[in-house]
Amino acid sequence: MSDRSLAIRSFTDLANPTRFVALAGRLLPWLAGLTAVLFAVGLTLCFTTAADYQQGETVRIMYIHVPAAWLSMMGYSVMAASALGTLVWRHPLADVAAKCAAPIGAGFTALALITGSLWGKPMWGTWWVWDARLTSVFILFLMYLGLIALNRAMDDAGRAAKVSAVLILVGFVNIPIIKFSVDWWNTLHQPASVLRLGGSAIDPEFLRPLLVMALAFTCLFFTLHLAAMRTEIWRRRIAAMRRQAARGAASA
Amino acid sequence: MTALFLRDLKLATRAGGGALTGILFFLAVVAVVPFGLGPDLKLLARVGPAMLWIGALLASLLGLERLFQAEREDGALDVMLMQETPLVFTVFIKCLAHWTASGLPLVLVSPLLGLFLNMEPQAIGATMLTLLAGTPAITLIGAMGAAVAVALPRGGLLVSILVLPLVVPVLIFGVSAAYAAVEDPAPFLPPFLILIAITLFFAVIGPAAAAVALRAASE
Amino acid sequence: MSAHLAYVAASYGAALIISAGLIGWVVLDARARRRELKALEDAGIRRRSAGGGAP
């Protein structure tokens, strides 16, 4: 592509898919490198810090679990912001962003669930507890899967974007209600016997690897998101070119 | 508006409408429960309110995709989109009619099914009351799902999958209010009031979202 | 303690698998699309405008 020299002058310039692709191409190697460095540092910290006197080695699961859980929520927030962009400003890249965030967000949500239950088995003695947090993350996971299924079921990208934007936003409004209801339900059904992690202040010894890992996972998210968005733009471009070619063949 | 309400009501209750199917489905789901759990009357009485709620939830979801389907098929949807009355109101009235035709009968037959499940009169009353307050919320959230289904080549099951996570709070507060009426220490009013609040909240959000989705879907 | 280590290892393994899966999906998808784009361009099909990517 000849437009590598095009400079991004303002945020609105990002609306131009060609400029976006060019920018993504320039940014991606740097982001990927940063992600790799952060992961190297973070993983080193993960395995060199001391084990917790109470949780033992399993505290190391937290260095993955907590960032994954954060990102599962951040992924949905990114989708909600994009949905707003689709419906309010009709930003041409917003629906691309929303569509590409869904599988990545679902991946991190699945990771949060898996590591959560791997942590729960030695600590709680069971793989799955209908704990308030686990349950809300599980419902979030279902919402992700529903949105992915919806996007796959529709052929027309523009229509799919708007319809799923509505759904994303209603889901976003609903998240606090779900969280609240699950908390209510949990206190109703479970006497407070569940070990709480957030109750005690976290020692800086554990905070450092946690934050680095959170940063590393966030970078990973955005690297993947940017790359997926670029691919999605290409995909639409290919579809447009194919249509054009078919039209050309029909009229000739 | 009254005309639309009556028209929808008539359409739903005549032969081929979805109202009767919903009730039958509700009956079938609740009738299957004892076969799964065993005929232990004590156990059935304990899970009764929950079973009635789950049955009503599934039965409501079943009929949802029909909400805008007929309109799409005969082209009335375009008229709805173009008329002067705001689309939100039209959607709201349609939800109301849909609930009267398919939600209200579920509430009305629930005491009968409660008897099958060996529930106490008080539990039956509480379940009926919570269903009365909660099922409109399911219809109102589902309206959005039904609007999404209009855009889908094959709607149906996907709508239920999309709507189900969103109605979890309704189920939680409905069931906990129904249980609170029977079990002593838990207060009945707070969950019941929250349930009503959720219904009112979705009376605003649901039709608005459905209207936006309908416009997007029929572009 | 060794049993706990197995859970830790499983967690990191899961993280590796899911991250690798996501990265693999993104990279392979990008590569396939890039190839298709190139094939179409080689076939002489041009876009109407430089910015007309998204429909």
Domain layout of chain B by residue ranges: 2-217
- Nearest chain B alpha carbon to A163: B213
The whole-model pTM stands at 0.81
Asked, for residue A5, whether it belongs to a domain, the answer is no
Determine the Cα angle at A74 with ends A68 and A77, to 5°.
150
Determine the Cα angle at A217 with ends A212 and A222, to 5°.
125
Q: Spell out the residues 6+ positions from residue C45 whose beta carbon is closer than 8 angstroms to its own.
A: A241, A244, A245, A248
Please write the tens of the pLDDT for every residue from B163-207. 888 888 888 888 888 877 777 666 777 888 888 888 888 888 888
Residue B161 CA to residue A143 CA, distance in Å, equals 8
Amino acid found at A40: A
- pLDDT for C3 beyond 60: yes
Compute the half-sphere exposure of residue A248: CA atoms within 13 Å on the CB side of its CA.
12
Residue A104 CA to residue A108 CA, distance in Å, equals 6
How far away is chain A from the Cα of C49, in angstroms, using its nearest Cα? 10
Quote the tokens at residue A51: 């084990």
Asked, for residue C54, whether it belongs to a domain, the answer is no
Residue A147 CA to residue B189 CA, distance in Å, equals 35
Total domains present in chain A: 1
Of all residues in chain B, what percent carry a pLDDT higher than 70?
92
| A58, A68, A96: residue with CB nearest C7 | A58
Chain A interface, best mutation among C16, C18, C23, C35, by max A CB count within 10 A: C18
Chain C interface, best mutation among A226, A235, A251, by max C CB count within 10 A: A235
Quote the pLDDT of residue B185. Answer: 67
Residues of A in contact with B212 (CB under 8 A): 87, 162, 166
* Chain A residues 222-251 with a CB less than 8 Å from chain C: 224, 227-228, 230-231, 233-242, 244-245, 248
Range of the domain at A35: 11-190+203-246
Q: Which residue has the higher pLDDT, B20 or B211?
A: B211
Quote the pLDDT of residue B168. Answer: 84
Name beta bridge partners: A56. A52
Average pLDDT over residues C21-39: 86
How far away is chain B from the Cα of A171, in angstroms, using its nearest Cα? 7
A103 touches chain C (CB under 8 A): yes
Of all helices (H) and strands (E), which one includes residue A67? Answer: helix A59-84
Quote the pLDDT of residue A187. Answer: 66
| A142, A170, A177: residue with CB nearest B144 | A170
- pLDDT for B111 beyond 60: yes
- Nearest chain A alpha carbon to B206: A170
| A16, A227, A238: residue with CB nearest C26 | A227
- pLDDT for B141 beyond 50: yes
Q: Spell out the residues 6+ positions from residue B26 whose beta carbon is closer than 8 angstroms to its own.
A: B55, B56, B58, B59, B106, B109, B113
Per residue, what are the HEC states of A141-174? HHHHHHHHHHHHHCCCHHHHHHHHHHHHHHHHHH
Quote the pLDDT of residue A194. Answer: 42
Q: Name the region of A16 (left: φ>0; alpha: ψ -120 to 50; beta: rest).
A: beta
CB A176 within 8 A of CB B205: no
The total number of residues shown for chain A amounts to 252
Residue B144 CA to residue B136 CA, distance in Å, equals 13
Asked, for residue C2, whether it belongs to a domain, the answer is yes
Tell the residue number behind the tokens 């962009």, with chain if given: A85
- Nearest chain A alpha carbon to B209: A166
Total domains present in chain C: 1
How far away is chain C from the Cα of A220, in angstroms, using its nearest Cα? 9
CB A57 within 8 A of CB C4: yes
Amino acid found at A121: K
Q: With an 8 Å Cβ cutoff, are A158 and C55 in contact?
A: yes
Quote the tokens at residue B60: 């409501």
Q: Positive or negative, the Cα torsion across A115, A116, A120, A126? A: negative
CA-based nearest residue to A64, from C3, C4, C10, C11: C11
| C8, C25, C26: residue with CB nearest A61 | C8
Residue B129 CA to residue B134 CA, distance in Å, equals 9
Range of the domain at C17: 1-42
- Nearest chain A alpha carbon to B165: A139
Asked, for residue A251, whether it belongs to a domain, the answer is no
Quote the pLDDT of residue B67. Answer: 76
Complex confidence, ipTM: 0.78
Q: Spell out the residues 6+ positions from residue B219 whose beta carbon is closer than 8 angstroms to its own.
A: A158, A159, A162
3-state helix, strand, coil in chain A (%, to 5): 80, 0, 20
Asked, for residue A39, whether it belongs to a domain, the answer is yes
How far away is chain B from the Cα of A174, in angstroms, using its nearest Cα? 7
Quote the pLDDT of residue C51. Answer: 43
| A139, A166, A184: residue with CB nearest B213 | A166
CB A134 within 8 A of CB A196: no
Residue B125 CA to residue B181 CA, distance in Å, equals 9
Residue B180 CA to residue B190 CA, distance in Å, equals 10
pLDDT averaged over consecutive 10-residue blocks of chain A (252 residues)?
44 69 83 85 76 67 83 88 84 83 90 84 73 80 88 77 85 80 67 45 69 87 88 84 78 64
Name beta bridge partners: A52. A56
Per residue, what are the HEC states of A217-248? HHHHHHHHHHHHHHHHHHHHHHHHHHHHHHHH
Asked, for residue C1, whether it belongs to a domain, the answer is yes
Residue A62 CA to residue A156 CA, distance in Å, equals 41
Report the C-alpha dihedral over residues B84, B88, B93, B98, rounded to 10 degrees.
130
Residues of A in contact with B191 (CB under 8 A): 184
Of all residues in chain B, what percent carry a pLDDT higher than 90?
0
Determine the Cα angle at C17 with ends C6 and A40, to 5°.
80
CB B152 within 8 A of CB B161: no
Amino acid found at C28: L
Please write the tens of the pLDDT for every residue from B31-81. 888 888 777 777 887 788 888 888 888 888 887 777 777 777 777 777 777
Residue A3 CA to residue B159 CA, distance in Å, equals 43
Quote the tokens at residue A32: 């990927």
Query: In B75-166, where does DSSP find H-type helix?
Result: 76-82, 87-98, 104-116, 121-151, 157-163
Subunits close to C (at least 3 CB pairs below 8 A)? A
Tell me phi and psi for residue B68, to 5 degrees: -115, 5
3-state helix, strand, coil in chain C (%, to 5): 75, 0, 25
